[in-house]
Each structure stands twice: as C-alpha cells, then as structure tokens.
C-alpha cells in the first residue's frame, strides 16, 4: 500500500482486534462481501487471491479492485462492512464493537438502563426471590415486545430466556446471579459486568 494510491488509508488508524481473541480472522483480513454497489462483481471478487495481513492492506485491496472496475463507494461504508465481518462472528473479540442489530435498535430502548436499575433494586431484600425474578421478566418482556421495544431485541431476549429459564425456587444469591448473568447476555459487544460490582452498587448483602 502506498500513500500515492491510497492517501486516505495513510491517515486511517489500523483496526486491531481486541482481547480475548486477538488473532486475525482465518481468511486473513480479506473483505469477503462486496458493497451493494458492486454485488454484480461478487463472483469475480471471490477469485481474487490474497490474504491481507492487516486491516489497511484489506481496505487497500478492495479499494483497488473497485477503482479498477470504476465503482465508487464511500470508505466509511467499506470500513463498516469489513469490521462487521471481522467482529460479528464473535463480538467479544472486538471491544466496544456493536452489531448492526444493536446499532439499529439503539435509541429505541431508552428506558432499558433505568429498568435494569429497577430490577437490581428489586433484589435488595425481596420476600420471595423467585417471584421477584418473575416480576422482572414479565415487566421487561412486555416492554421489549411493546410499542417502545424492538423486534430484534425481543427475539434475542426470547432466545436468552429459552436457554436460561428462571431457576425454580432460587435462593436470593441464585436469583441475583441469574439476573446479572442475563444482563451480561444482552450487552452485545461489551465486556461483562462483574457480579461484585453490581452487588456493591446496590448494596446486596
């Protein structure tokens, strides 16, 4: 890659995968999927050899291919699609990454942070931890599926509940751990919040 052929990339920071999986993708950094403006060339693109060893090299390879075929695509679009490819299979490998589904839903669940605060507060000293969890799940499910929710979030929430149903007759500690774990399940692309951090904030004793 040279600054003469790709001046924008010389100003662009290298994109690095983060812990805990910092190795490059198996395909190298090659961008597999072409932008929609060049879909008709997808078959040709897949025959182009190469296993770029850095994100800049991958961007340069695709930009050169598009330029040779007289196709102009905003670089930000190329960058977004490539990061989606590298990170979507395992969001935890890219700290701070948000899936497209998460970004589309962002802003639609403005009530969510306050509701999680409410849920954690409900487990400070409940008479029946199991019933408290049921109340939390019923409330959150209704909100996610309601007019202020989102279809993508509702589907994800349903999958989480199916995989991790409310425990039967849980102790207070079990209920608390279940809630913290489910909260982490729904925080796509973010590092999990430690149980001790939540317990300290809400004074769970």
| Structure confidence by residue, pLDDT tens digits, 26-62 | 778 999 989 888 989 999 999 998 889 889 999 999 9
Q: What is the mean pLDDT of residues 81-90?
A: 84
pLDDT number for residue 156? 81
Q: Which of 1.20.1630, 1.10.540, 3.30.70, 1.20.120 would CATH assign to domain 107-201?
A: 1.20.120
Q: What is the DSSP letter of 202?
A: T
- Contact between 192 and 184 under an 8 Å Cβ cutoff? The reply is yes
pLDDT number for residue 60? 93
Q: In this model, does residue 1 exceed pLDDT 70?
A: no
Angle between helices 112-122 and 172-185 (to 10 degrees): 170
Q: What is the mean pLDDT of residues 71-78?
A: 87
pLDDT number for residue 20? 58
Query: For 162-205, what is each residue's pLDDT tens digit?
Result: 999 999 999 999 999 999 999 988 876 567 888 999 999 999 98
Query: For 102-133, what is each residue's pLDDT tens digit?
Result: 666 666 677 888 899 999 999 999 999 999 99
Residue 180 burial (CB count, 10 A):
21
pLDDT number for residue 155? 81
Which is it for the CA torsion 47, 52, 57, 59, positive or negative?
A: positive
pLDDT number for residue 178? 97
Query: For 9-21, what is each residue's pLDDT tens digit?
Result: 888 888 888 765 5
Whole-angstrom distance, CA of residue 202 vs CA of residue 205: 9
Whole-angstrom distance, CA of residue 98 vs CA of residue 84: 9
Q: What is the mean pLDDT of residues 151-160?
A: 82
Cα 110 to Cα 7, 167, 188, 200, distances in angstroms: 40, 28, 16, 25
- Domain extent listing, the chain: 7-97, 107-201
Helix (H/G/I), strand (E/B), else coil: 157: helix
pLDDT number for residue 120? 94
- Contact between 78 and 30 under an 8 Å Cβ cutoff? The reply is no
DSSP states along 32-91: -SPPGGGGGGHHHHHHS----SSHHHHHHHHHHHHHHTT----HHHHHHHHHHHHHTT-G
Query: For 158-168, what is each residue's pLDDT tens digit?
Result: 889 999 999 99
Percent residues over pLDDT 70 in the chain: 88
pLDDT number for residue 91? 77
Element containing residue 29 per DSSP (H, E):
none
């Amino acid at each position: 890659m040279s600054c003469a052929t790709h001046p924008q990339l010389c100003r662009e920071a290298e994109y690095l995968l983060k812990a805990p999986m910092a190795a490059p993708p198996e395909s190298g950094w090659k961008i597999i999927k072409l932008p929609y403006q060049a879909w008709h060339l997808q078959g040709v693109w897949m025959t182009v050899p190469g296993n770029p060893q850095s994100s800049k090299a991958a961007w340069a390879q695709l930009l050169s291919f598009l330029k040779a075929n007289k196709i102009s695509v905003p670089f930000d679009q190329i960058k977004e699609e490539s990061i989606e490819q590298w990170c979507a299979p395992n969001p935890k490998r890219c700290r701070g990454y948000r899936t497209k589904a998460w970004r589309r839903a962002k802003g639609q669940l403005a009530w969510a942070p306050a509701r999680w605060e409410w849920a954690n507060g409900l487990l400070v000293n409940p008479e029946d931890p199991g019933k408290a969890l049921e109340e939390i799940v019923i409330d959150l499910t209704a909100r996610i599926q309601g007019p202020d929710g989102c279809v993508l979030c509702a589907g994800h929430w349903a999958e989480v509940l199916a995989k991790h149903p409310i425990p039967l007759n849980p102790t207070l500690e079990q209920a608390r751990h279940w809630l913290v774990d489910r909260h982490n399940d729904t925080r796509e692309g973010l590092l999990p919040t430690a149980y001790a951090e939540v317990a300290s904030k809400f004074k769970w004793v």
